[in-house]
Structure 1
Amino acid sequence: MSGTISLLIAIAIAVYLAIDAPKHHKSRWLWAILGFLFGPIALGIYLIRTNRKVLGWIMTILFGLGYILLILLVILGAVFFSQL
């Protein structure tokens, strides 16, 4: 179920970027692919590049910290279970 929701979010971000990018003279395909692969981080960077800086920086920082926290939790879990 979680994978399905993540896939739908990635598709929604890609579609939004594909529709909005030409309005700002950006490459539709490039931003759609980046949005699908990197999700909210790519959306945040896109918002920064299209002069919607406040929302873009907030999204980039929050999701960047979230990804870093997730990586740290995985590493801590691996260390914990390797010591058992």
Structure 2
Amino acid sequence: MSGTISLLIAIAFAVYLFIDAPKHNKSRWLWAILGFIFGPIALGIYLIQTGRKVLGWIITIVVGLGYILMIILVVLGAVLFAKGM
């Protein structure tokens, strides 16, 4: 079920970028593919490049911090698992 939701969100990013990219003289196919693969990071970078810098930086920073937090939790879990706790 969560895989389906993730796929739908990735498709939503791709469709938005596909539709909006030509309005800013950007390649629609490139941004749609990047949006599908990288999701919110691609959306944040796209918004920064198209002049919507505040929203783009907010999205990019929040997603980046989320990725960093996820990496820290995985490493912490691996260390605790290795110690046998």
Q: CA deviation at 1:66?
A: 0.3
Is residue 17 from structure 1 mapped to residue 17 from structure 2 by the alignment? yes
Structure 1: runs of 5 or more not aligned: none
Supply the AA of the counterpart residue of 1:11: I
**Superposed displacement of residue 3, structure 1:** 1.5
**CA–CA separation in structure 2 for the residues paired with 1:74 and 1:7:** 23
Residue 49 of structure 2: aligned partner:
49
Say what the alpha-carbon RMSD is for the aligned residues: 0.7
Task: State the number of aligned residues.
Answer: 84
Matched letter for residue 20 of structure 2: D
In the alignment, the residues of structure 2 paired with residue 35 and residue 71 of structure 1 have an alpha-carbon distance, to the nearest angstrom, of 22
Runs of 4+ in 1 over 3 A off after TM superposition: none
Question: Unaligned 5+ residue runs, structure 2?
Answer: none
TM-score of the superposition, structure 2-length normalised? 0.95
1:21-40 paired onto structure 2 within 5 Å: 21-40=21-40
TM-score (norm 1): 0.96
- The one-letter code sitting in structure 1 at the alignment partner of 2:31 is W
